């Protein structure tokens, strides 16, 4: 069997954990971080005919950077394509999002899988609680239990469409009207929704970790403090908030985040992922060791 290319996007480590564990089962996997490819001019070519996409569920849908990657990916039409989506509790419409892009390339997903991981986006919501060790253990056990099954399907290039019976994250009108509008504005006209969406409070010590982990490169350090470029698209990964060692980065009470409670809540970086692990995703592909 030849190489299997998995393009992955991880904000706080959930997806990175999954791909690393899958690689333990399938050593032929090449882990390719999406953040390292988004500034590539022209098409992105894969050397494999077995290609995977691994990513978190963002508000029930495909994350913006993964959408950007799949649009740039050159496909011949005979590839075996699969997706691994992770989320905490809500239904994912990401397979439909991917197939919508792939149809324009005369392709479609052959298999997709859903994995449960702790929620990192909920830090902006009221009464957020950091996952305890028992919750991490349940998620890890669930991932490990599914990996042999996933491995066999991928190796055999079988068709497999895992049903997702979980509830949708939002009412239908939000999912069909408001969410696409916000995603469109964030991607195409970011300055219209991102001004004031994030800020650093007085606890900031100027460590620059937020700048290092931001996959969108929209944070500059000016006079020792982070400044967010609202003209650049935010990928919604919350890496800056979750990896801030002093919990200084906050979500502004703007309609991009909704009412934000980050000043009252803790933070969630995955226990097996460091800020350096996340920052390395931006390195040019080929320099990852």
DSSP assignments along 112-165, one per residue: EEEEE---SGGGGSTT--PPPHHHHHHHHHHHHHHHHHHHHHHHHT--EE----
Q: Please, what are the domains in the chain?
A: 4-167 (3.40.50.360), 193-280 (3.30.70.20)
For residue range 169-208, what is the model confidence (pLDDT) as tens digits? 778 777 777 778 888 899 999 998 898 999 999 999 999 9
130 and 123 Cβ atoms separated by less than 8 Å: no
Please say whether the beta carbons of 101 and 70 come within 8 A. yes
**Phi, psi values for residue 73, rounded to 5°:** -75, 125
Asked if residues 286 and 22 have their Cβ atoms less than 8 Å apart, the reply is no
Report residue 191 as tokens: 């300055």
Question: Could you give the CA distance from residue 206 to residue 225 in angstroms, rounded to a whole number?
Answer: 5
Share of the chain above pLDDT 90, in %: 69
For residue 258, the number of C-alpha atoms closer than 13 Å in the C-beta half-sphere is 11
User: Angle CA(242)–CA(245)–CA(249) in degrees, nearest 5?
Assistant: 55
Helix, strand, or coil here: 80?
A: strand
Q: What is the pLDDT of residues 203-229, one digit of tens each?
A: 999 999 999 999 999 999 999 999 999
pLDDT digits (tens, 9 = 90+) for 148-167: 999 999 999 999 998 887 77
Query: Which residues does 35 contact at the CB level (< 8 Å), separation at least 6?
Result: 9, 65, 215, 281, 282
């Amino acid at each position: 069997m030849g190489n299997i290319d998995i393009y992955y996007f991880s904000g706080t480590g959930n997806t990175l954990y999954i791909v690393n564990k899958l690689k333990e089962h399938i050593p032929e996997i090449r882990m390719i971080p999406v953040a390292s490819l988004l500034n590539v001019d022209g098409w992105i070519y894969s050397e494999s005919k077995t290609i995977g996409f691994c990513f978190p569920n963002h508000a029930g849908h495909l994350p913006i950077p993964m959408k950007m990657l799949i649009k740039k990916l050159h496909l011949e039409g005979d590839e075996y394509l699969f997706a691994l989506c992770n989320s905490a509790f809500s239904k994912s419409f990401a397979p439909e999002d991917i197939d919508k892009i792939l149809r324009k390339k005369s392709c479609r997903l052959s298999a997709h899988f859903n994995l449960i991981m702790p929620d990192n986006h909920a830090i902006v919501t009221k009464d957020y609680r950091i996952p305890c060790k028992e919750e991490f253990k349940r998620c890890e056990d669930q991932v490990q239990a599914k990996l042999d099954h996933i491995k066999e399907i991928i190796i055999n290039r079988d068709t497999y469409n895992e049903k997702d019976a979980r509830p949708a994250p939002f009412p239908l009108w939000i999912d069909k009207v408001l969410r696409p509008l916000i995603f469109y504005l964030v991607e195409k006209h970011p300055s219209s929704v991102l001004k004031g969406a994030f800020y650093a409070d007085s606890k900031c010590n100027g460590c620059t970790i937020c700048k290092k982990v931001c996959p969108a490169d929209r944070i500059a350090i000016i006079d020792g403090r982070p400044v967010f470029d609202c003209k650049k698209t935010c990928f919604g990964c919350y890496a800056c908030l979750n990896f801030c060692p002093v919990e200084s980065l906050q979500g502004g009470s703007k309609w991009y985040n909704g009412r934000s409670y980050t000043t009252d809540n803790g933070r969630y970086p995955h226990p097996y992922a460091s800020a350096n692990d996340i920052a390395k995703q931006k390195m040019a592909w080929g320099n990852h060791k």
